[in-house]
């Protein structure tokens, strides 16, 4: 890894990432002077009702970093984050792809207007730009952006909670995911498929509890291949970053057999792991 900063402390994470950069530049690394690849925590804005960058945010950014070369080759025209919170992820993506200049433009949505403002401040503090919109998932943009977005990143509210907690005002809506933590995820996926371009990629965080294998199956039935870009176990949860892309053969694969998390993990990439260009 060209940017490997071997001395960075991995913190309390048990690192199991597949080819991901470890928790770099998180705390107190702002002044190292080298070319920065991610948003810097001291410059990330905050608000009491906005989700602070956490293990899941770092996992998503690390997954994007591990795919940086592919992302640069893809030269995405439009990139979008759904549920941008503090703006840490979309800002990091814009920094990572900075060399693509104005050939790549960024959009971000959040249902929480404080999050939208916080994201705006984080972007500004890093000298990058995204148009930020307060909306439910991509409501209002689905038709205009149909088939146009090349990269979508999502760290959804995925924590299993009682259904009533979903969409509550305030900070709870940043994690409350309803039954199996899937209620918001299951609305995000079809909405994102609308706006993804034919060559588009979706990166999404999911928890073991969300049944990532099932998510991959559902996506494969509608023509998307998938791969696990990163898996990370923290003290509280097993986090995955899944990547999806259109593959005309995706629905025709024999289903991998599910027999416990060890083996599903090894089977999940189907043949996609070796698939071209992803």
Tell me which H or E stretch contains 271. Answer: none
Residues 59-78 interacting with another protein (rule: CB under 8 A): 77
Q: E-assigned strands of 89-148?
A: 105-110, 131-134
The interface partner of residue 155, options being ligand SAM, another protein, none and the CB cut-off 5 to 8 Å by kind, is ligand SAM
Instruction: State both tokens at 150.
Output: 């090349």
Shortest distance, CB of residue 58 to ligand SAM, whole angstroms?
9
Instruction: State both tokens at 129.
Output: 């730009």
Rule CB under 8 A: say whether 125 interacts with another protein: no
- Nearer Cβ to another protein, position 17 or 197? 197
Rule CB under 8 A: say whether 120 interacts with another protein: yes
Angstrom CA distances, 112 to 47, 86, 177, 184, 257, stand at 11, 11, 15, 14, 39
Rule CB under 8 A: say whether 136 interacts with another protein: yes
The interface partner of residue 184, options being ligand SAM, another protein, none and the CB cut-off 5 to 8 Å by kind, is ligand SAM
- Beta-carbon contacts of residue 252 (< 8 Å; ≥ 6 apart): none
Identify which range of 62-70, 132-140, 169-177, 220-228 contacts another protein by CB under 8 A: 132-140
Token match 């299993």: residue? 160
- What are the backbone dihedrals phi and psi of residue 89, each rounded to the nearest 5 degrees, phi first? -75, -50
d(CA 199, CA 14): 33
- What are the backbone dihedrals phi and psi of residue 202, each rounded to the nearest 5 degrees, phi first? -115, 130
- For another protein, the binding residue among 18, 148, 166, 233 (CB under 8 A) is 148
Shortest distance, CB of residue 203 to ligand SAM, whole angstroms?
11
- Nearer Cβ to another protein, position 198 or 262? 198
Query: Where on the chain is the footprint of ligand SAM (CB under 6 A)?
Result: 51, 53, 57, 60, 82-86, 88-89, 109-112, 115, 136-137, 155-157, 173-175, 184
| Helix, strand, or coil (residue 123) | helix
Shortest distance, CB of residue 201 to another protein, whole angstroms?
17
d(CA 188, CA 186): 6
Instruction: State both tokens at 137.
Output: 């998932």
Rule CB under 8 A: say whether 30 interacts with another protein: no
- Nearer Cβ to another protein, position 108 or 228? 108
Which residues lie near another protein (CB under 8 A)? 77, 101-105, 107, 111, 113, 116-117, 120, 129, 131-136, 139-141, 143-145, 148
């Amino acid at each position: 890894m060209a940017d490997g900063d071997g001395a960075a402390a991995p913190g309390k994470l048990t690192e199991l990432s597949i080819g991901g950069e470890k928790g770099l530049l998180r705390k107190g690394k702002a002044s190292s002077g080298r070319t920065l690849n991610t948003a810097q925590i001291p410059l990330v804005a905050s608000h009491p009702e906005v989700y602070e960058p956490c293990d899941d945010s770092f996992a998503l950014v690390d997954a994007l970093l591990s795919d940086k070369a592919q992302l640069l080759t893809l030269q995405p025209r439009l990139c979008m984050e759904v549920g941008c919170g503090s703006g840490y992820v979309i800002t990091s993506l814009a920094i990572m792809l900075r060399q693509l200049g104005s050939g790549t433009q960024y959009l971000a949505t959040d249902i929480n207007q404080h999050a939208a403002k916080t994201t705006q401040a984080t972007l500004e503090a890093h000298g990058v730009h995204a148009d930020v919109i307060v909306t439910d998932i991509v409501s209002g943009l689905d038709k205009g952006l149909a088939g146009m977005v090349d990269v979508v990143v999502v760290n959804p509210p995925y924590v299993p909670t009682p259904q009533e907690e979903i969409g509550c005002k305030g900070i709870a809506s940043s994690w409350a995911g309803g039954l199996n933590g899937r209620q918001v995820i299951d609305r995000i996926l079809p909405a994102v498929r609308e706006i993804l371009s034919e060559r588009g990629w979706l990166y999404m965080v999911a928890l073991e509890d969300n049944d990532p294998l099932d998510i991959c199956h559902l996506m494969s039935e509608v023509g998307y291949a998938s791969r696990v870009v990163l898996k990370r176990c923290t003290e509280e949860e097993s986090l995955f970053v899944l990547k999806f892309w259109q593959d005309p053969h995706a629905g025709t694969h024999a289903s991998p057999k599910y027999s416990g998390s060890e083996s599903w993990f090894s089977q999940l990439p189907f043949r996609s792991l070796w698939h071209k260009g992803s």
